[in-house]
Amino acid sequence: MYRKQARRRRAVLTLLIVGSFLLLTLTYGQAPGSVQQGIGSLFNPLADVADRALKPARDLVGWFDETFEARGENERLRDELAEARRQAVAGQAALNENGQLRELVKLDRSPVIAYSTFEPVTGRVIARSPIVWHSAVTIDLGRDDGVRVDDPVVSGDGLVGAIASVQGGSAQVTLLTDHTSGVSARVLPGGAQGVVRPEVGDPEDLVLDFIKAARNIGAGQVVETAGWRASGIASLFPAHLPIGEVTEAPVEEQEASQQVHLRPYADLANLDIVQVLTGGAR
Amino acid sequence: MIVTPKIFARLAAIALLGVLLQISFFSRVTVLGVSPDVLPALVVVLGLLGGAMTGAVAGFAIGLLLDGSLVESLGGSSLVLLGVGYLTGLLRERFELRGALVAALACLGLTMVAELGFALVQLTLGVDAPVSLLIVRDLVLKGIFAFFVGWPLYIGLCRLLRAALVEEPRVTRRRQPAVFGA
């Protein structure tokens, strides 16, 4: 009797392990299949309801956490405000100058990939992966709202990520902090270009990789999407979407590994409202 | 654990509710910069209450639900959580572990094991980016959160699944009446 039970137990365990490996082999790196889409479609309306119901509780936890963090951030924000004021004055002067120059040379006002060709659709985050290795969220916008795979996603602060998969009424967004993410970017001023990649496990740190060692980049410089287009192919992201600000740019690191660190503008750990830029010409 | 259709329905509802709460609440709040992960703790408690088989099956199902609900590759979370569930069940069966404090401590240790498992699966599949040392902080804090979640979770699930639990009767010693002046 005991042996029979032990055999059955071993068989079930083996079946579960083999099943897991099989599922992993069949689905890893592939577009979501009907099983995932089916479970997702069943879960997302529930997640939507749970998201609304639990928002007050989330806000309460958020309030405690932010109050705790705010004490340390106060000093840094003061410095940033002073720096932002200086930049605003300089920016106003640059805008005036830019307007005059445009009038002079009659430049096309649209950038390389016109932001105006996109139609922003606003949605809410309804679910998030608990595993730090999968930096992804589910939003309440889907195919019915005109969302397509690879559409850029932004928040009020800057770039958030891109659409990874879409169902009827929901979609999955791969965040900038996911290990598969990579965005071509440009540092302002100066124009040094590189690829923004994440550092897994740290949502407040991104790495601008593959920059030319000759370009000297300093802390506080702004990083935006480069939005290139060449030989019929184009970047997923339009130009001029703010990504973040350079935090560390040691000369040794720039020369040795051609990279600098930046902090994303968007609070990727606490996303709530996002915009999907739909309908872009790609 | 004696799994009748009624108990099975309760277990399914617990798994569903656990995944729903995780993806819409716990994953979306940060405490000290880390989001709590209660699913390994849920699997640990089910393993402690039901034994190795219940733990393994619950872990597999919860992992599958989690990956499916987020439309991610299936199998990774199932593999890790089924291992955690089985291990917890074995610990309970071999060492007769019981009680809320034991559950809380098991949640602490095995949540860390689960997070290590997730890392191992991901590193085996390939990571295209540098990995921050903060991942260690994430692992430790998730374990500590699980300790605080494990305690009430164990007590709650004990009550909810009481009908299915095979408990040894408590031995209560009756005090002999004292007879004075005999």
Name the packing angle between helices B52-69 and A2-27 (round to 10°). 20
Closest CA to B12 of B54, B67, B41: B54
Do the Cβ atoms of A150 and A236 come closer than 8 Å?
yes
Q: Is residue A229 part of a domain?
A: yes
Q: Is residue A144 part of a domain?
A: yes
Stronger pLDDT, A254 or A260, i.e. the higher one: A260
Q: Is residue A85 part of a domain?
A: no
Taking contacts as CB-CB distances below 8 angstroms, the residues of chain B near A57 are: 25
Fill in the amino acid letter for B175: R
For the ranges A66-70, A186-190, B176-180, the maximum mean pLDDT occurs at A186-190
Helix (H) or strand (E) holding B123: helix B100-125
Q: What is the pLDDT of residue B58?
A: 93
Are the beta carbons of B72 and A22 separated by less than 8 Å? no
Range of the domain at A249: 119-282
CATH 3.40.50 assigned to domain B5-164? The reply is no
Q: pLDDT tens digits for A229-243?
A: 666 666 778 888 888
**Number of Cβ atoms within 10 Å of the Cβ of B72:** 23
Statement: residue A165 has pLDDT above 60: yes
**Number of Cβ atoms within 10 Å of the Cβ of A150:** 13
Contacts of A265 (CB under 8 A, 6+ apart): A157, A158, A159, A242, A243, A244, A245
Q: Is residue A252 part of a domain?
A: yes
* Three-class DSSP category at A100: helix
d(CA A180, CA A95): 37
CA distance B97 to chain A (A): 20
Statement: residue A111 has pLDDT above 60: no
Paired strand residues for A180: none
Instruction: Report the complex ipTM.
Output: 0.77
A11 in contact with chain B, both atoms CB, cutoff 8 A: no
Contacts of B76 (CB under 8 A, 6+ apart): A20, A24, A28, B63, B67, B118, B121, B122, B125
Paired tokens of B20: 């729903």
For the ranges A35-39, A107-111, A145-149, A245-249, the maximum mean pLDDT occurs at A145-149
Q: Is residue A29 part of a domain?
A: no
Taking contacts as CB-CB distances below 8 angstroms, the residues of chain A near B131 are: 199-201
A133 in contact with chain B, both atoms CB, cutoff 8 A: yes
Paired tokens of A260: 């600098």
Q: Is residue A55 part of a domain?
A: no
A13 in contact with chain B, both atoms CB, cutoff 8 A: yes
Do the Cβ atoms of B39 and B25 come closer than 8 Å?
no
Are the beta carbons of A200 and B130 separated by less than 8 Å? yes
Contacts of B6 (CB under 8 A, 6+ apart): B163
CATH of the domain at A267: 2.40.10.340
d(CA A138, CA A118): 21
Do the Cβ atoms of A23 and B60 come closer than 8 Å?
no
d(CA A227, CA A180): 19
d(CA B182, CA B179): 6
Instruction: Give the number of residues written for chain A.
Output: 282
Mean pLDDT, 10 residues at a time, over chain B (182 residues)? Answer: 83 91 87 88 91 90 89 87 92 80 90 91 80 84 92 88 66 63 58
Choose the closest CB to A130 out of B26, B33, B79: B26
Q: Is residue A248 part of a domain?
A: yes
Band of pLDDT at residue A49, cut at 50, 70 and 90:
confident
Do the Cβ atoms of B41 and B88 come closer than 8 Å?
no
How many domains does the structure of chain A reveal? 1
